[in-house]
A and B are shown apart, each in its own frame.
Chain A
Amino acid sequence: MADDLTIIGKSLTKPDAYAKVSGQTKFADDLAPPRMVYGRILRSPHPHARILSVDTSRARALPGVLAVITGDDLPVKFGILPVSQDEEALAREKVRYVGDPIAAVAATDEWIADEALELIEVQVKTLPAFMSIPDAIAGGNEPIHGQSNVHKAVALEFGDTEEAIQAAAYSREDLVFFEGNTHLPMEQHAAVAQYGADGKLTLWTSSQTPHYVHRALGKVLELPMSRIRVIATPNGGGFGGKSDIFSHELVAAKLAIVTGRPVKITLTREEVFYAHRGRHPVLMKVRTGFSKEGRITGMQFQSFLDGGGYGSYGVATTYYTGALQATTYAIPRYRFEGVRLFTNKPPCGPKRGHGTPQPRFALEIHLDKAAEALGLDPVEIRRRNLVRPDSRTVNWLRITSCGLDDCINKVVEGSRFLERRRAMPSGRGLGFAVSSYLTGAGTAIYWNDMPHSEVQLKLDRNGGVALLCGAIDIGQGSDHILAAIVAEVLGVELEDIQLTTADTDLTPIDLGSYSSRVTFMAGNAAKAAAESVRQRLLQSAAMALHCDPEDLVARGRRIFRRTRPEDGLSVAQAVQLVEAEQGVVTGTGSYTPPRLAGPYKGSGVGPSPAYSYSAAVVEVDCDPRTGEVRVPEVWIAHDIGRAINPVLVEGQVEGSVYMALGEALMEEQSFRLGLHKFPSLLEYKSPTALEAPVMHTYLVETIDREGPFGAKEAGQGPLLPVIPAVANAVYNALGVRIDEIPITPDKVLKALHDKGKRVGPKSVPAFGFPPLIKSDVPEEWRGK
C-alpha cells in the first residue's frame, strides 16, 4: 500500500503556508470587530498577600473607562483539571504570585485602561512567601492553599525495588536539578470577546485547548455552553503555554457582557511570563541497581516539583515525572515517589515534553555515569537495556512500535560517536542520550466514554471537500495532517480540501493541541470519516462502471478500475451520483483510544496508544576560561511511525532540538525576592540564529499499527534526548558533571574548580511520602 500513496509521505506545501508568508493569517490580536474596546488586568506586585480591600471608584470615574471588575464579579473557581479547581479569574481573598490578576478595566483605548489600573486601590496584608521547594516543604506561616503547601504526593511501586537494588552487582544514586523555564511563544496571548444582542457570547482566543476554555467559560460565567462559542485562532506558537484556561480569556468575556462592546485583551510580554504554565523546576533523586553486565535490576525515582501558585496541570505533571522511565529501558522493578509543592511563583504546567524532560535529563546522565563505572560505553549500556517492541513495561504501559534501536544506530553512525568521543580536541566533547514520548494521552482530562477526536466531512458537487475538526494549528502543521489524510483517502488533491477548525459552534470535538495527540487522534478520526465517504463513492461508481467496488481506486481526482485505469469517472461525478441518490454527501469519523490504564490508582497518566522514540548525539565546544558552552553540531534520529509530511516532521524535530538547546544552556525562569529575574525577551536568553547548530535529522519509520497510515508524533519527543546529551557532552569535553539545568558558564567554571568536578544538588529535603501503593506487575515481569 505504501507505494500507492500520493499525498501521504510527500513534502508538500501545507495548506496554511501562503496565508502565513503573506501576513494574511489572522491571529487573535489581529482581530478588531467594530466598536471594540480594550481590556487590561491589574496584577499583584506581591508574591503572597491577603487582599483586604479593592477600591475601584477612582478608576471608574476616569473618562473613557467603561467598566471595572474585581473578583466579586467572577466568583466561581476553575482549573484545567477537575481535581484542581483552585483558580479565580481575579483573586478575591489572596494573591499567590507576582502577576496574579486582581482587577480589570475596559476602556476606549489601552492608555486609558492602563491609567485606570493605576487608580485602583488595593489594600493587602503581605504574607511571608515560599519561594523554593525546601521552603514550601518546611512550611510555617500561612500555607499558600489550605492547610499545607503539598499539592500532590504520590508513591507507587512495581515489584520489590529495594531487594533488587541491594542484591545488584553495582548500584548508584544521583541527585539532579532541572530549573524551570518558559514556552516563550513569539505571539503574546490574546483574546477578543463579543456579546451579541441575542445573548450569545463569542470568544476568539489564541488557545491550544478551545474545548476546555469553552467548558470553563460556561462554568465561571454561569452560562449554558450552548450560548458560548469559542473560536481558537491560529496560535503564534504554543509549546504548551496556551493549553490552560487563562484569566484574560474569562475577563475579556465578562467585560464584553458588562459593556456590551467587543473587548480585546492582549497580554504584554511581561504578563506572558506571569501567565507561564511552563516547565516545573524539579529536584530529583534516582537510584538504580545494575548487574555486572550493566542490566538494570531495579530503579527508585523521586521527584520534587516546584509548582508555583496554582494547580494547573500539576497533578498530571507529577505523575509524568515518573511515568516514562520504563518506556525506553526494560526496568524489571520500579518505584516512583513524587511530590508537587505550591510556591509563590507563576503556576507551572505543561511545556513541550510535559513533566518528562526533567526525569529524562536525570536518567540519561545517571546512566552515563553508571556506564563509566561499569566499564561500558554510553551506547552499550542503553543497548543492553532497551525496551522491546510489542511489550508491556513494569508500570503497565503498552509498547507497540519501537524504533529506538534504529534511532541509536543512525546517530551513533552519523556522528561516529564511538570512534570520535575518545579523541576529541581540547574543549570539544560528544554526548549521547535517548528518550521516548507519548502520542497523545490515553485518558482524557474529563474521564468519559466519548471520542477524543472527531471529524466531519461534506463533499460538494465539484469534488471539493469541507473538513470540520476541533483541532487547532499551533504551527505544528495539524491543518496539513488533516487535509493530507482526507485527500489521500478520497483521491483528491490537497487544495480541494477546505478546512474549518477549532470553532465550538461548527466543528466536532478535538480535545486540543497538547500531549502530541493531534496527528494520531484527529488523524485517525479524519481517516475514518474519509473512509466512510469513500466507501459510498466507490459503491456508486462501481454501479456506474459495472464492476466491483473492490476493483476501484480513488486517485488524482478520479475513481477508476485498478486493472483498466481508463475506465473511470471523476470524484465529482461520483459525488453527484451519491447525492442524486441519497442527498447531502457527508461523513463523520471519530477516534477513541483503547483502554490502556493499568490496575492501580494513578495509572491514568502515562498510557498512550503509541510512543515515539528519539536518540541524539550532541557535540559541544567549551571554553574552559570563560565556561561558555557552544553547540556546533547535533545528530538527531526520531521514530515518527510514518512521516505524513517529511518536511513538516523535520521542522518539528529541528524546532525541538532548538528549544532543548535553549533549556540546556541558557533559559531559566527564576526569581529573586519574589520577583521574576528575567521577565523580558532581552533578559530571558533564548537561542538566536547565530546559535543554530548544524543539524543532522534522521526520520525512522516504524509504521505503527494503530497510527493513521502508521504515524506517531514529532512535536515533543525529539526535545527530550538533547538536554542530557548536552550535559554528557560537557563531561566528555571537560570532565565536569553539571547535574543541573541550565548549564551556564558560571556553573561550568564552578565545576572546574570544584574538588568533585561537579555542580548539582547535594541533598533532597526530608519529606514523608505517602505509603507506597504496591501494584501488581504485568505477567511478563512476574518473578523477574
Chain B
Amino acid sequence: MSIADKVAVRLRVNGEDMAVMVLPYKTLLEVLREDLGLTGTKHGCELGECSTCGVLVDGKPYLSCLAMPLDLEGRDIVTVEGMARGSDPHPLQVAFAELGAAQCGYCTPAMLLTAMALLDRNPNPSRQAIKDALSGVLCRCTGYVKIFEAVELAASRGAAGG
C-alpha cells in the first residue's frame, strides 16, 4: 500500500457540521477517534461483534467500526460527547454515575447511546425491553444489573427527550 490521498467528507456530528479530510479507507470509528478527537467512542473488536463502538445515526444505534464516513454524509451522527447539554449531563449519564453502572466505563458510551435511542422510542420500557435493546452491547464488568437499574431510574426521571 502506498501513502493514500485524503478525501473531503462532510459530516454532521453532535449537531455540528464539519468538513474533514480523511483517508478513504478509514472507518467512522477511526475518523471519530483519530481525526475528530472524539475518543469517547470505543472499540472491542472492530469486526461488528461487540457494539462497544456504537454511536447513533439518525437516532438509531449504529456500529461505527463497520461504517464508512463517505456513506454517512448528510446523516445525523451522535456520540457520547453529544449527550450532555452544555456541562449538564444527560439524565442517563447521571443515573449511570449514581448507580455504579459504569465500572471500568469502557462499554459505557455505547450502552448510554443505545439506552438513549431506546428511551426516545419507548420512554417507559419494561425490564425485558431494556434487555432486548441492550443485548448487543457486551459488558464484562457489571453483570448488566446496575445498567438495567440505571436505565429504569433515568426513565422514571423522565429522561426521554432529555
Contact = CB atoms under 8 A, between A and B. Distances in A.
26 contacts: A18-B93, A20-B102, A21-B80, A21-B97, A22-B81, A23-B39, A23-B79, A23-B108, A27-B39, A108-B3, A115-B1, A185-B104, A186-B139, A188-B43, A237-B140, A654-B145, A655-B103, A655-B142, A680-B47, A681-B44, A681-B47, A681-B138, A688-B135, A688-B136, A689-B147, A690-B131
Nearest to A651: B100
B81 A692 contact: no
Contacts of A115: 1
Most buried by B among A17, A24, A681: A17
B73 interface: no
A73 interface: no
Interface in B1-51: 1-3, 23, 25, 33-34, 38-47, 49-50
Most buried by B among A23, A690, A695: A23
B109 A475 contact: no
A634 to B, nearest CB: 9
* 6 nearest A-B residue pairs (beta carbon): A23-B40, A475-B104, A20-B105, A658-B143, A236-B106, A23-B80
Contacts of B42: 27, 186-187, 236
B84 A22 contact: yes
Contacts of A26: 39
Interface residues of B, number: 60
Interface in B96-124: 96-100, 102-109, 112
B80 A22 contact: yes
B123 to A, nearest CB: 19
Contacts of A237: 103-104, 106, 140-141
B89 A23 contact: no
A269 B109 CA distance: 19
B137 interface: yes
Contact of B45 (A20, A655, A656, A680): A680
Contact of B107 (A186, A235, A476, A477): A186
B71 interface: no
A757 to B, nearest CB: 32
Contact of B138 (A23, A32, A688, A695): A688
B117 to A, nearest CB: 15
Interface string A220-249: 000000000000001111110000000000
Contacts of A112: 1
Given A23-B80, A27-B42, A186 B144 contact: no
B60 interface: no
A64 interface: yes
Contacts of A475: 103-106, 141
A560 B109 CA distance: 44
Size band of the A side of the interface?
Answer: 35 or more
A475 B106 CA distance: 9
Contacts of B136: 688
A11 B153 CA distance: 15
B56 interface: no
A238 B105 CA distance: 12
Contacts of B93: 18, 21-22
B155 interface: no
Nearest to B41: A23
Contact of A21 (B39, B96, B135): B96
Nearest to B87: A22
A16 interface: yes
Contact of B49 (A64, A680, A692): A680
Contacts of A681: 44-45, 47, 49-50, 138
Interface of B: 1-3, 23, 25, 33-34, 38-47, 49-50, 52, 79-81, 83-84, 89, 93-94, 96-100, 102-109, 112, 130-132, 134-148
Given A269-B44, A269-B46, A690-B132, A23 B104 contact: no
Nearest to A110: B30
Contacts of A268: 46
Contacts of A476: 103
Most buried by A among B23, B103, B139: B103
B151 to A, nearest CB: 10
B2 to A, nearest CB: 7
B53 to A, nearest CB: 11
A144 interface: no
Nearest to A20: B105
Contacts of A647: 99-100, 146
Interface in A410-433: none
A63 B3 contact: yes
B34 to A, nearest CB: 7
A186 B145 contact: no
A539 interface: no
B89 A18 contact: yes
B148 A17 contact: no
B61 to A, nearest CB: 13
Contacts of A14: 97, 100
A390 to B, nearest CB: 33
A760 B38 CA distance: 50
Contacts of A680: 45, 47, 49
Given A23-B39, A689-B131, A13 B97 contact: yes
A13 B42 CA distance: 23
A21 B112 contact: yes
B138 A686 contact: yes
Contact of B104 (A11, A109, A474, A692): A474
Contacts of B96: 17, 21
A718 to B, nearest CB: 10
A366 B86 CA distance: 59
Most buried by A among B135, B138, B143: B143
A157 B147 CA distance: 47
A672 B68 CA distance: 35
A559 interface: no
Contacts of B105: 16, 19-21, 25, 234, 236, 475
